[in-house]
Amino acid sequence: MSMIKVPTQVTLVEVGPRDGLQNEKTPIATSIKIDLCKQLIEAGIHRLEAAAFVSPKWVPQMADGADVLAGLKALPELQQRKVSYSALVPNLKGMEAAIEAGMQEAVVFTAASEAFTQKNINCTIAESIERFKPVAELARAHNIHLRGSISCALGCPYQGDVAVQSAAEVALRLQDIGVQEFDVADTIGVGTALQVGQVFEAVAYRVGLQNVAGHFHDTYGQALANILAALQLGVSTFHSSIAGLGGCPYAKGATGNVATEDVVYMLHGMGIETGLDLNRLVQTGAWISGSIGKPYISRAGRAVWSKLNSEVQA
Ligand code: HMG
Ligand code: MG
């Protein structure tokens, strides 16, 4: 029997429609965003970050979140699918708009670094927690699952190194106000596997392993190794972005999240269930990359894509 223990099932929260698209400078048609979400759901995604109810002055690309959710809810082919739609909400105004739009999971977001929090949401970490209190109250009243995203848990573009305990301390403060799930984020993709073990262990010790999710950007090519490190601790929820799209507007040089296709290929290869159809994800990844004029950069995606195409030609 293998000594290496990993979960038998993993849930992927698809963040492509939000984290993947938010950084695109050219406006993307709402219809393309809806089509992207639809294809992801048809590939088996059941937790989908579809929107951000943030200031349109700060992130113009996310201004049509309510229309994206309305469009998805109107599609007859998705009526039978049980999908939990999530959205970023920086404050009460965003939360009210997201509830109105019919979102099921709210994501408040702060950071393990003061400097990044200031650049991203224009306040200190302590002020952000204060701002989230009424959001958490509304979440409770509406039975909305509340996640808390902790950026820069493994390094900050402004501050540099971030102490191992920083994310855990923020997680505890978020838990105090009612956050239920903790998205530990490597915003600029600088972390490496042993550091992931330490940081995730510290967070899990405070808030419970089952409540921790990993959110890895792949800037330095470390994301799969980092996911494996977290899997070995027992983490079983990860965020990923179709085609590896994305980046954070307030973290210069940060590239996209780990590609969903790459994670699914790795997990399925390890015998871990995801409920996802890799071929359909690859078709979606190739399509959305082309639609927004980007090369298709998912490594597993490109390999599967060329295999699918050679089978069609044979
Ligand atoms: P502010 O300027 O300090 O706030 O921004 P304000 O309260 O003074 O509001 C300024 C204007 O924004 C006002 O409008 C408000 O009404 C409006 P005006 O009177 O000037 O016309 N406003 C809003 N409009 C729509 N929806 C709202 C909203 N709130 C205020 N919710 C604020 C503070 C937090 C609003 C701003 O900094 C903001 O929206 N930041 C969002 C930044 C963002 O979206 N970053 C990217 C997502 S985070 C990320 O990618 C990291 C993650 O992936 C994890 C990781 O990888 O690390 C999650
Ligand atoms: Mg991110």
Q: What is the pLDDT of residues 295-305, one digit of tens each?
A: 999 999 999 99
Question: What amino acid occupies position 141?
Answer: A
In this structure, the strands spanning 181-186 and 11-14 are unpaired
Question: Model pTM?
Answer: 0.97
d(CA 236, CA 257) in angstroms, rounded, equals: 17
CA 54 / ligand 1 centre spacing (Å): 4
Residue to probe by mutation, ligand 1, list 55, 119, 149, most atoms within 8 Å of CB = 55
69 band by pLDDT with thresholds 50, 70 and 90: very high
Average pLDDT score over residue span 58-70: 97
Average pLDDT score over residue span 117-136: 97
Residue 309: both structure tokens together:
């195409």
pLDDT, position 158:
95
Least confident of 81-90, 237-246, 252-261: 252-261
Concerning whether 156 is annotated as a catalytic residue, the answer is: no
264 band by pLDDT with thresholds 50, 70 and 90: very high
Is the per-residue pLDDT at 219 higher than 60? Answer: yes
Instruction: Output the residue whose Cα is nearest ligand 1's atom 33.
Output: 121
Instruction: Output the residue whose Cα is nearest ligand 1's atom 28.
Output: 55
pLDDT, position 311:
81
Short-list 289, 298, 290, 296, CA closest to 258: 298
Options 3.30.1050.10, 3.90.1010.10, 3.30.420.280, 3.20.20.70; which CATH number does 11-313 get?
3.20.20.70
- Bridge partners of 239, per DSSP, are 13, 215
Is the per-residue pLDDT at 239 higher than 70? Answer: yes
Instruction: Output the residue whose Cα is nearest ligand 1's atom 47.
Output: 248
Average pLDDT score over residue span 161-185: 98
Which of ligand 1's atoms lies nearest the C-alpha of 94? 31
Short-list 58, 114, 67, 64, CA closest to 90: 58
Is the per-residue pLDDT at 1 higher than 70? Answer: no
